[in-house]
Structure 1
Amino acid sequence: MQEHLKFYINGEWVDPVTPKTIDVINPATEETFAKISGGSKADVDKAVAAARAAFPKFSQTSKAERVELLKKILTVYQKRVEDIAQACSSEMGAPIGLARSAQAGAGMGHLAATLKSLEEMEFEQQRGSSRIIREAIGVVGLITPWNWPLNQIAAKVAPAIAAGCTMILKPSEVAPITGVLFAEVMHEAGVPPGVFNLVNGDGPSVGQVLAEHPGVDMMSFTGSTRAGIIVAKAAADTVKRVSQELGGKSPNILLPDADFETAVARGVYACFNNSGQSCNAPTRMLVPADKMEEVLAIAKATAEKHTVGDPTKDATMMGPVVSEVQFKKIQGLIEEGIKEGAKMITGGPGRPEGLDRGYFVRPTIFGNVSNDMIIAREEIFGPVLSILPYDTEEEAIAIANDTVYGLSASVESKDADHALRVGRRIRAGQVRMTATAWDSFAPFGGYKQSGNGREFADWGIHDFLEVKAIVGYEGTANL
């Protein structure tokens, strides 16, 4: 049994003010494998005080100093990649191959992208008789989710460091061990005391307290739209900036000229990646009505190639979903799809054959879905794909936009210019074109109820900066 019962505050591992433990469950075994401490307002107060004390000096460090610090963090992170991957696999069920390449790899990618962006960024410019200065916003509260823990920790911590901010991180209490390991990375890299602080705990006891705290200047939150609304309301009384990356119900439009054999398979894999637990998963596949039967056959064959099981085995493609709560929610929504009359193509309720414990979900595909069905409107956050027909391109675009979300979308076509024209009309923060690789330098964030603000590389750094105008200065100092 692992025990991680201390918080990282002011450069030291410290005991919680009031001891309280939280069990961390391995979703593949349903057994407790670790314990963490749950924080309180008193712990948040200590962390905020440390961050505020560190801010005046750290905010005045030079860009060169922060570049060197990020380089050290990246170097230490690279040494700990296997530890991070193993922890990620245990705490949220990611297959170990995915945990190494994508989960731990995403953190490394964001550190590297932020480092490169910081090296190229200018924080001052002269505009006529005014000096425009971009400077650190202050003390920031960071709340990160369980589904891509290192992706979101690195995508917030790295740009906050680059901007000159000090911070308090609250990882998800469902998958907190990777956050503890990240704190160890920060300590070994020599991050100055108080610049980075970690307080574990649940949303009401730590997250909401951070959002309400008058000593916190900004909140950066990734999670559900429901929780994001709570954070925004809690932050409103102190008029702090709130940056949010929230839910999604992303459309994947296959235009009539797409290569359906490859496009459908690619869409299925993208939807089921990470057991479907990605806010930008393309969970609504929109296909020409006259291609529906062909698409369903390809999708069924692709889904049934997915090996579901023990995440410690290299051959496993899909592990469990993260918790009993998520498992029950997904099962309920699959049942809802059946009741609403969607055509079950493969999968369905219950665990995959041969698995009688663990929060494993059968890779599930529904065909002939209409966009008013619950399975087409709610974020399921599991390996469930809805395939919807359309008759015209205009109808496809209308269906794609008929959602409260606007985080991501995909367009498949052999004609890149055609895909671009369609992509321009989709109300989403990111539109991925045919076979596009992940881009850590592209802005990531949503329209509508998918949030506000943008993350990754220089876009993320700008989120943590304030803009100051010094009017009447016409010199050239430091330019």
Structure 2
Amino acid sequence: MNAISNAALSTPLLTPFLVERNKKHFIDGRWVGSASGECIDTFNPATGGLLATLARGRQEDVDRAVRVARQAFEGPWRRFTPGQRQRLIMRFAELFDKHFDELTLLESLDMGAPLHTRLRPGKAALVQTILYYAAQARNIQGETPHNSLPGQVTTMILKAPVGVVGAIIPWNGPLFAQMHVLGPVLATGCTAIIKPAEDASLTVLRTAELLVEAGLPPGVVNVVTGIGAEAGAALAAHPDVNRIAFTGSTGVGREIIKASAGNMKRLQLELGGKSPDIVFADADLDKAVPGVAMGVYGNSGQICFAGTRVFVQRSIQAEFLERMSAFGNTLKVGDPLALETDLGPLITQRQLDRVLGYVEQGKQEGAALVSGGRRLGGDLANGYFLEPTLFGNVSNQMTVAQEEIFGPVASVIPFDTADEALALANATPYGLASGVWSANVNTVMKMVHGIQAGTVWVNCYGMVDPAVGFGGYKESGYGWKGGAAQIDGYLYQKAAYINVTA
């Protein structure tokens, strides 16, 4: 593993958006301070230095944003035709493309993702996602089913926007996460209040500005910053919010389910994961090793679907461990703004301590630390940098194999037969994603049909297309991101019975 440093770590590199470091809520198309006047600090994870100050949203701020969103839903926005909504989304796509370098710089400063290896290569996928939702604005259809009623009764099934949507999005990729809220909201004619994570809110705030510049009426999309237990909880329980879209931990997801009971909110929950990535002896290791490794180490392991439980057929386990360790040692960890960086820091000191705690627990439970496992020092000592970490000699019952670590920690677990691999893969309360590496189509199809997860990647890992979508199973949540199923989640059905003889 190679650690790198860069002058950017010590140089205050600003975008125009960060000239003013005190950030307010974005409500009704303008900047609004918190009702309490309180703020929270957010830090650059690469340096540990103060990056910006955010308004600390509470119940009163959420109430204001929901009230504005309801007024916008009942106001001019309701009269936008599908074609008008589509054109607005396409204008937003143009602005997003134009300002992409600024947005990715903000995200890199805010949450530490490498600018050149993770964020900027994702430009095409993000623009494609926005354009997909633009197409869906014209693709909402009802039905005119025949009926068996007496007389001349015409029946129709109509679809209408559910109303006000509350979205609580995570810190590990807000630039991506917000698109799976903004897209269906704008395509269907809903309105939204977004509560970004307190550790990474800047790209969401900047995006809200761009939406208004694209022609979105004020109040259609609002952003309330703050702490999850305060602003997020208030949004989840608000009686005038019709739908909640949440991405985060399973524990918080349970609390949102309870909070939704007050007015029977619709929910879309993408929760925790402990995804299996299964490597058979006939796999092409030249592709499987880097594919599996980046399925764990990408974004420094801070990905909900990270394939951290790596099941390797016993006959190739020694070779696989050697090759994956060698690959991990080639990854450059350091300044997320540097061209050569592969992995940036973890989001906070708190998260770094949490991941290091799991590393120690893994060693105590008998797992063999093959490589990594240490915080980086030197020029990187003030940031939250951790080496990519690989454990061997892991059993599926160990803590590192069962609990979501959310850091660059892979656990290699041996298996002998396909049936054993399937049983081990499913021996978890989670069911978010999975991977299979094999050249045998029979083996592949056995795994595809047998694995209990919302996504199965075969001879690849982490691909997501907006037309196909993504979602969880078991304690990894329910609801769908992308595809027709997600659009339907932002609509409700109503039946009309028209007696033409009356």
Q: What's the TM-score bracket when you normalise by the shorter of the two chains?
A: over 0.9
Q: What is aligned with 1:431?
A: 456
Cα shift readout 1:4-58 (whole Å, capped 9, x = no counterpart): 4322212222222221111110011011111111112111111111111111243
1:30 to 36, 48, 56: 48
| CA distance in structure 2 between the partners assigned to 1:442 and 1:54 by the alignment | 31
Matched, 1:350 2:375: yes
Measured against aligned partners, the alpha-carbon deviations of 1:86-121 in whole angstroms (never above 9, x if no partner) come to 1111011111113532566554332122223334x2
Report deviation, 1:347.
Answer: 0.5
Q: 1:83 aligns with which of 99, 102, 106?
A: 102
Percent of counterpart pairs with the same letter? 37
Partner of 1:285 in structure 2?
310
The 1-side partners of 2:299 and 2:321 are apart by 22
Kindly indicate whether residue 130 of structure 2 is the aligned counterpart of residue 111 of structure 1: yes
Which of 396, 404, 429 in structure 1 is aligned with 2:429? 404
Structure 2 CA distance, aligned partners of 1:102 and 1:246? 26
492, 496, 500: which one aligns with 1:466? 492
Matched, 1:447 2:466: no
In structure 2, relative to structure 1, the CA distance for the partners of 1:463 and 1:156 (3 Å cut) is same
Tell me whether 1:65 sits opposite 2:84 in the alignment: yes
- Contact persistence 2:349–2:384 (CA under 8 A): yes
User: What are the ranges of 5 or more consecutive residues in structure 2 without an aligned counterpart?
Assistant: 1-18, 148-154
Q: Structure 1 residues 134, 380: closer, same or farther in 2, change over 3 A?
A: same
1:55 aligned partner, one-letter code: F
Task: Find 1:20's aligned residue among 38, 49, 68.
Answer: 38
Partners of 2:64 and 2:192 in 1: how far apart?
12
Q: Residue 27 of structure 2 aligns to which amino acid in structure 1?
A: I
Q: Does 1:238 align with 2:263?
A: yes
Provide the rounded CA distance (Å) in 2 between the counterparts of 1:438 and 1:444.
7
Secondary structure in 1 matching 2:269 = strand
Shift of 1:159: 0.7
CA distance in structure 2 between the aligned counterparts of 1:241 and 1:281, rounded to whole angstroms: 27
Matched, 1:6 2:6: no
Q: Counterparts of 1:194 and 1:66 in 2: how far apart (Å)?
A: 15
Q: CA deviation digits over 1:65-84, x for unaligned, max 9?
A: 21111111111111110111
Paired position in structure 2 for 1:265: 290
Counterpart code for 1:325: R
Cα gap change, 1:15 to 1:348, in 2 (>3 Å): closer
Q: Measured at CA, do residues 311 and 330 of structure 1 come closer, stay the same or move farther in structure 2, by a change above 3 Å?
A: same
| Separation in structure 2 between the aligned mates of residue 416 and residue 76 of structure 1, nearest angstrom | 44
Partner Cα separation in structure 2 for residue 368 and residue 468 of structure 1: 56
Alpha-carbon displacement from aligned partner over 1:107-165 (angstroms, at most 9, x marks no partner): 4332122223334x232121213311121111110110000111110111111111110
C-alpha displacement of 1:281: 0.9
Q: How does 1:164-183 map to 2 (within 5 A)?
A: 164-183=189-208
Mark the CA change 1:266 to 1:51 in structure 2 (over 3 Å): closer, same or farther: same
1:50 and 2:68 correspond:
yes
Which is further off, 142-151 or 230-239? 230-239
Contact 2:281-2:315 within 8 A present in 1 as well: no
CA distance in 2, matches of 1:352, 1:417: 48
Alignment of 1:295-310 (within 5 A): 295-310=320-335
Is the contact made by 2:431 and 2:475 (CA closer than 8 Å) also made in structure 1?
yes
Tell me by how many angstroms 1:243 deviates.
1.0
CA contact (8 A) 1:8 1:197 kept: yes
User: Does the CA contact (< 8 Å) of 2:23 and 2:52 recur in 1?
Assistant: no
Question: Is residue 2:384 matched to residue 1:366?
Answer: no
The 8 Å contact of residues 43 and 110 in structure 2, kept in 1 or not, is answered as yes
Measure, in 2, the Cα distance between the counterparts of 1:227 and 1:16: 24
| Candidates 214, 223, 227, aligned match of 1:202 | 227
1:315 aligns with 2:340: yes
SS of residue matched to 2:290: helix
2 CA distance for matches of 1:319 and 1:148?
13
Q: Which moved more, 1:186-195 or 1:109-118?
A: 109-118
SS at match of 2:466: coil
Name the amino acid aligned to 2:238.
H
Residue 391 of structure 1 corresponds to 416
Amino acid at match of 2:300: S
Which 4+ residue blocks in structure 1 deviate beyond 4 angstroms?
102-106, 472-475
Q: What is the rounded CA distance, in whole Å, between the counterparts of 1:456 and 1:398 in structure 2?
A: 29
Aligned residue pairs total 474
Q: Distance in 2 between matches of 1:226 and 1:4?
A: 31
Cα distance change, pair 423–473 in 1 and its aligned pair in 2 (3 A): farther
CA spacing shift, 1:404–1:59, aligned 2, 3 Å = farther
**SS of the residue 1:221 aligns to:** strand
Quote the offset at 1:417 in angstroms: 5.1
Q: Deviations over 1:422-458 (max 9, x none)?
A: 1111110111111364323222110011111000243
> Aligned equivalents of 1:286 and 1:352: distance in 2?
32
Contact 1:139 1:165 in 2 (8 A): yes
- TM, length-normalised to structure 2: 0.91
For the 8 Å contact 2:303–2:406, the answer to whether it is kept is: yes
Could you say if the C-alpha distance between residues 150 and 349 of structure 1 is closer, same or farther in structure 2, counting changes exceeding 3 Å? same
Shift of the 321–2 alpha-carbon distance from structure 1 to 2, 3 Å rule, reads farther
Q: Is residue 475 of structure 2 the alignment partner of residue 456 of structure 1?
A: no
Query: Secondary structure of the residue that 1:172 maps to in structure 2?
Result: coil
* 1:124-203 to 2 correspondences below 5 Å: 124-129=142-147, 130-203=155-228
> What amino acid does structure 1 have at the position aligned with 2:467?
F
Counterpart-to-counterpart distance in 2, 1:354 and 1:209: 41
Residue type of the alignment partner of 1:293 = A
> What amino acid maps onto 1:44 in structure 2?
V
Checking the alignment, whether the CA contact within 8 Å between 2:136 and 2:187 is kept in structure 1 is: no
23 and 147 in structure 1: CA distance in 2 versus 1, 3 angstrom threshold: same
**Alignment of 1:249 onto 2:274:** yes
Q: Deviations over 1:385-432 (max 9, x none)?
A: 011101110110011111111010011111345313311111101111
